[in-house]
């Protein structure tokens, strides 16, 4: 069976480099907040086309800390797409705010600006579009709505062009296009003040250069030196991996022109290669390759979030009912790609 993803192959390919980096960190004696993190932040910011990146404990934390930095707090509302990984909304709840789901576009699966506009009110303090499955969303229409825009780019390393948003939040969960050896995330921003604030928030609100003096109530959201060292190595392989993912998706489209793929985009990085199939379960059962479902429920149907529904979000619900994720990862062999092509043809 062709697997949906096989992370062991990533570490078989880059394991030697990572092992050396881990040894370097352990030998240095600096396990947290050291030179590896600083170097990774500089390199990742440059890769994203920004001046500043702040490494944090996870992608969920990156969204949460960006929301705090934007001044979002208890009782505020934040517009999120109804089709996303649940952490987009969980991060909003973590600051005491209310996620308000809006519908997505039928072809791109990205947040629909008109639907987002329909739920914006004077209580809306941020909008969080998601670059879902690795396909970049056009941010400009959301900027026009007024509240600060925080981009959820957890699935879109290499896809996102710099925009006038408040911040961009990344996850380095191991399965991501840029995945680490544990949890990790980053807040990327053009605003040096926002970057400095998030840097403070990730260490209990401690004042820089004044050890154990705290001017904010915050918590711990640090990224380890080992994670940062591994990410620096993987960053060097990211563009090649993304190019391979694009090539795999191109081959699938060519083999199965009858399938409805998520709309393509020149910067799509295919974190997930997703098709829509009515009668999804029978389709999956009949395939000789493993597939996934991202996601089986829209936010407005998730048991923990459905009470937040303001509008129906029929498009997100249709995506959730029909989406099928095909195997698409850089280390797939040519034979495995052929097998998937034959299976879906």
Q: Rounded to the nearest whole angstrom, what is the least distance from the CB of residue 334 to ligand PLP in the complex?
A: 28
Q: Which residues contact 164 (CB under 8 A, 6 or more apart)?
A: 139, 143
Q: What phi, psi does 145 have (nearest 5°)? A: -80, -15
Q: What phi, psi does 107 have (nearest 5°)? A: -95, -40
Cis amide bond preceding 295, omega within 30? yes
Instruction: Name the token pair of 127.
Output: 């909008």
Q: Rounded to the nearest whole angstrom, what is the least distance from the CB of residue 285 to ligand PLP in the complex?
A: 26
Q: Quote the longest CA-to-CA distance of the chain.
A: 63
First-to-last alpha carbon distance for the chain, in angstroms, is 17
Nearer to ligand PLP, 112 or 152 (CB): 152
Q: Rounded to the nearest whole angstrom, what is the least distance from the CB of residue 127 to ligand PLP in the complex?
A: 15
Match 């629909």 to its residue by tokens: 112
The answer to the question of residue 183 lying near ligand PLP (CB under 6 A) is: yes
* 35 CB burial (10 A radius; 0-12, 13-18, 19+): middle
| Binding footprint of ligand PLP, residue count (CB under 6 A) | 15
Nearer to ligand PLP, 170 or 197 (CB): 170
* 142 CB burial (10 A radius; 0-12, 13-18, 19+): buried
Query: What is the Cα–Cα distance from 313 to 324, expressed in whole angstroms?
Result: 19
Nearer to ligand PLP, 155 or 325 (CB): 155
The answer to the question of residue 44 lying near ligand PLP (CB under 6 A) is: no
Nearer to ligand PLP, 180 or 343 (CB): 180
* 342 CB burial (10 A radius; 0-12, 13-18, 19+): exposed
Nearer to ligand PLP, 131 or 232 (CB): 131
Q: Rounded to the nearest whole angstrom, what is the least distance from the CB of residue 89 to ligand PLP in the complex?
A: 9
Q: Which of residues 212-271 bind ligand PLP (CB under 6 A)?
A: none
Q: Rounded to the nearest whole angstrom, what is the least distance from the CB of residue 283 to ligand PLP in the complex?
A: 23
Q: Please say whether the beta carbons of 238 and 47 come within 8 A.
A: yes
Nearest residue relative to ligand PLP (C-beta): 59
Q: Please say whether the beta carbons of 153 and 47 come within 8 A.
A: no
Q: Please say whether the beta carbons of 158 and 181 come within 8 A.
A: no
Per-residue x/- mask for ligand PLP, residues 124 to 143, rule CB under 6 A?
------x-------------
Per-residue x/- mask for ligand PLP, residues 59 to 98, rule CB under 6 A?
xx-----------------------xx-xx----------
Q: Rounded to the nearest whole angstrom, what is the least distance from the CB of residue 198 to ligand PLP in the complex?
A: 15
Per-residue x/- mask for ligand PLP, residues 143 to 182, rule CB under 6 A?
---------x-xx---------------x-x---------
Nearer to ligand PLP, 93 or 256 (CB): 93
The answer to the question of residue 185 lying near ligand PLP (CB under 6 A) is: yes
Cis amide bond preceding 290, omega within 30? no
Q: Rounded to the nearest whole angstrom, what is the least distance from the CB of residue 59 to ligand PLP in the complex?
A: 2
Which three-class secondary structure state does DSSP give residue 172?
coil
Nearer to ligand PLP, 163 or 256 (CB): 163
Closest to 21 in 3D by CA, of 180, 233, 172: 233
Binding site for ligand PLP (CB under 6 A): 58-60, 84-85, 87-88, 130, 152, 154-155, 171, 173, 183, 185
């Amino acid at each position: 069976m062709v697997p949906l993803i096989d992370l062991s192959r990533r570490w078989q390919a880059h394991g030697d480099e990572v092992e050396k980096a881990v040894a370097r960190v352990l030998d240095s004696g600096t396990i947290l907040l050291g030179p590896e993190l600083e170097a990774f932040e500089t390199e990742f910011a440059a890769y994203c086309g920004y001046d500043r990146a702040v490494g944090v404990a996870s992608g969920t934390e990156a969204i949460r800390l960006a929301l705090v930095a934007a001044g979002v707090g208890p009782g505020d509302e934040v517009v999120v797409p109804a089709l996303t990984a649940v952490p987009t909304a969980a991060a909003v709840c973590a600051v005491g705010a209310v996620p308000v789901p809006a519908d997505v576009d039928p072809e791109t699966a990205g947040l629909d600006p008109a639907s987002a506009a329909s739920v914006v009110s004077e209580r809306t303090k941020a909008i969080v579009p998601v670059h879902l499955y690795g396909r970049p969303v056009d941010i400009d229409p959301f900027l026009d709505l007024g509240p600060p825009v925080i981009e959820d780019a957890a699935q879109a390393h290499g896809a996102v062009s710099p925009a006038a948003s408040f911040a961009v939040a990344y996850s380095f969960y191991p399965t991501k296009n840029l995945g680490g050896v544990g949890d990790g995330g980053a807040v990327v921003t053009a605003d040096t003040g926002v970057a400095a604030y998030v840097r403070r928030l990730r260490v209990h609100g401690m004042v820089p250069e004044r050890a154990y003096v705290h001017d904010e109530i915050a918590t711990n959201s640090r990224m380890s030196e080992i994670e940062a060292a591994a990410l620096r190595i993987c960053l060097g392989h990211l563009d090649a991996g993304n190019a391979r993912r694009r090539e795999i998706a191109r081959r699938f489209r060519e083999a199965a022109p009858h399938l409805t793929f998520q709309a393509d985009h020149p910067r799509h990085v295919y974190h997930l290669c997703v098709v829509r199939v009515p009668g999804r379960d029978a389709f999956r059962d009949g395939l000789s390759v493993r597939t996934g479902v991202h996601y089986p429920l829209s936010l407005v149907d998730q048991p923990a979030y459905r009470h937040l529904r303001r509008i129906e979000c029929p498009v997100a619900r249709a995506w959730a009912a029909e989406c099928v994720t095909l195997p698409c990862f850089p280390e797939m062999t040519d034979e495995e790609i052929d097998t998937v092509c034959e299976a879906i043809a």
